[in-house]
Amino acid sequence: MLSNPPKGDWLQWRGDYANTGFSGLEQINKETVQNLELAWAWPMADVGIQETVPLIHDGVMFLQTSNGIVEALDAKSGDLLWTYRHVLPEMPSSWSYQANQARRQKNSISLAGDKVILTTPDAKLVALDVKTGKVAWDKQVLDWEKGYSYTIGGLVVEDKIITAISGCSIAGTAGGCYIMAHDINTGEELWRFNTIDDPENPAQQESWGEVPPENRWGGTPWTTGSYDAELGLTYWGVGMPGPYAELIRGSGDGDVLYTNATVALDVNTGKLKWYYQHLPQDNWDLDSPFERILVDQEVDGKLHKMLISVPGKNGIAFALDRETGKYLWSKETVFQNVVTKIDEDGKVHINNDLVPTAVGQAVHVCTSVSGGKLWQVGSYSPITQTYYVPLTEACNDVTPTQSEFTAGNAVGSVKFGPRVLPEGQDKAGLFEALSINPVQGDHLWQHRQREAPTSSVLATAGGLVFGGDAARYVKAFDDKSGEVLWQQRLNAPIGGSPVTYEIDGEQYLAVPTGYSNSASSISSAFPETPLPNGNGNSIFVFKLKSDAK
């Protein structure tokens, strides 16, 4: 069923193994979207950064909330069916970064037969009975007291759940950041891949210069991967190195592999098939771990198996051959000044003028640590062959610092200045539509607005693209022109991922809302739109008026 999901369900965080974020439902379309009305709403179980993705199967919505809470709701009425609250260990108050990890879980549940698999902030896998929420089994995967945690959910492939650990920039986690596979029935570990220490690849070891594995940090795979069953490969994005500045981490001008890269792994063994690095020698926390989308297109009788992504904060779109990792093309979106050029063979060149050479030396970097492409996920429509991406224009100063590494806290060792817009730009938000083909991407349309996008986007067979922003509007865009056909203002910035599903012949649109760093970090760019006080984490579900179907 995961390989061929029913149109009426939403079984995985992006709907399918290819991570397209596309729905084949079309009852809500360009003509009918004006007739949406609220069907029901639900306040989420806890506070925190709202990056949730509701999953829907057999009329039940499974909703995860930060801090390891899962709720099952009747997806037609909104009635609560069951709740599971994970008991988290008490952390010392000084562990500020690690405590924040628990408040930023994105899509931490997966459906697997009669189980809901939860990844927890204290680095556990927990299997819940889908009917009752009772624990079937749990597994302590890594040591939370070192700083390891889960902020994303797993990818269920046959008898395995493939997950990626977070917390790899916390002091106690030096030497290892992992993509791992576990047995879906027991939680037993089947394989693991270390993103910052690969003894089988001398080039990877050399790329860290004189830094031994036990002094390496970073390489967090912050986003759930995709899967190609025909090739037997799973694709994951990897984040920034730590400490953030090479001056502090001691890696010289090395590329620090596999940070800011796409890795293709054999799904059965975890062995590396290929990698491609999108941003070598990162000095600015411009990590590139976000969605990897699998696209098949036939051109001149030949099938091209592509991987497309705007993988990181510099906002550059990439297309790769997903069988070989060969670079096909790239395209800039928002303003950035860190990449100077990309060669025909895909080698990325950075702006060396922005590499600090002394502690306390500030450099002005675009985009910012919270600009460009963030966790908010783009979607791909096979109908329009277009990739729709939420983006933010932003810059900031980055200054290396010397700081003590303490338990539960990050080893970034840089100071970030206030987020500001690039010179000459007065709009923080950009919804970008990129035409996709094996040869080149091009701008189909761009929708610029003052407020930053704060949610992932959803494309549908109804010709619509749904996304939301810091001004509390969820919007439906025409997928071919970018025209806003419908919008609704809600209680808080739109968060997480809008999804759609069908019950008894009626299509529903579910929209999460709530607190978001994506809204607050650049809010000074649109002071006329104050952010609401309080949390507001909620789910709003819409359907068409009964006389308008």
| 2 within some domain | no
| 4 within some domain | no
Distance, in Å, from the CA atom of 333 to the CA atom of 12, rounded to the nearest integer, reads 28
Burial class (CB in 10 A: 0-12, 13-18, 19+), 114: exposed
| 188 within some domain | yes
Q: Which residue has the tokens 């759609």?
A: 500
Q: CATH code at 203? A: 2.140.10.10
Predicted local distance difference test score (pLDDT) of residue 548:
61
Which DSSP string do the residues of 457-488 spell out, in sequence order? -EEETTSEEEEEBTTSEEEEEETTT--EEEEE
The predicted model scores a pTM of 0.97
| 11 within some domain | no
Q: Which residue has the tokens 């995961």?
A: 2
| 512 within some domain | yes
Residue 195 one-letter amino acid: T
Neighbours of 138 (CB within 10 A): 15
| 3 within some domain | no
Find all residues with CB under 8 Å of 63, minimum gap 6, and list them: 42, 44, 52, 54, 70, 71, 72, 73, 539
Cβ contact 334:390 at 8 Å: no
| 8 within some domain | no
Query: Which strands sit side by side in the sheet containing 414-416, from one edge to the other?
Result: 363-366, 395-400, 414-416
State how many domains the chain has.
1
| 217 within some domain | yes
Predicted local distance difference test score (pLDDT) of residue 291:
96
Residue 536 one-letter amino acid: G
Tokens of 369: 């640590």
**By residue range, what is the domain housing residue 508?**
22-544
Distance, in Å, from the CA atom of 292 to the CA atom of 290, rounded to the nearest integer, reads 7
pLDDT tens, residue order, the chain (549 aa) = 999 999 999 999 999 999 999 999 999 999 999 999 999 999 998 888 889 999 999 999 999 999 999 999 999 999 999 999 999 999 898 998 998 888 888 899 999 999 999 999 999 999 999 999 999 999 999 999 999 999 999 999 999 999 999 999 999 999 999 999 999 999 999 999 999 999 999 999 999 999 999 999 999 999 999 999 999 999 999 999 999 999 999 999 999 999 999 999 999 999 999 999 999 999 999 999 999 999 999 888 899 999 999 999 999 999 999 999 999 999 999 999 999 999 999 999 999 999 999 999 999 999 999 999 999 999 999 999 999 999 999 999 999 999 899 999 999 999 999 999 999 999 999 999 999 999 999 999 999 999 999 999 999 999 999 999 999 999 999 999 999 999 999 999 999 999 999 999 999 999 999 988 888 889 999 999 999 887 899 999 999 998 765
Distance, in Å, from the CA atom of 24 to the CA atom of 406, rounded to the nearest integer, reads 49
Neighbours of 395 (CB within 10 A): 22
Closest residue by Cα to residue 400 from 177, 242, 205, 529? 242
Predicted local distance difference test score (pLDDT) of residue 549:
55
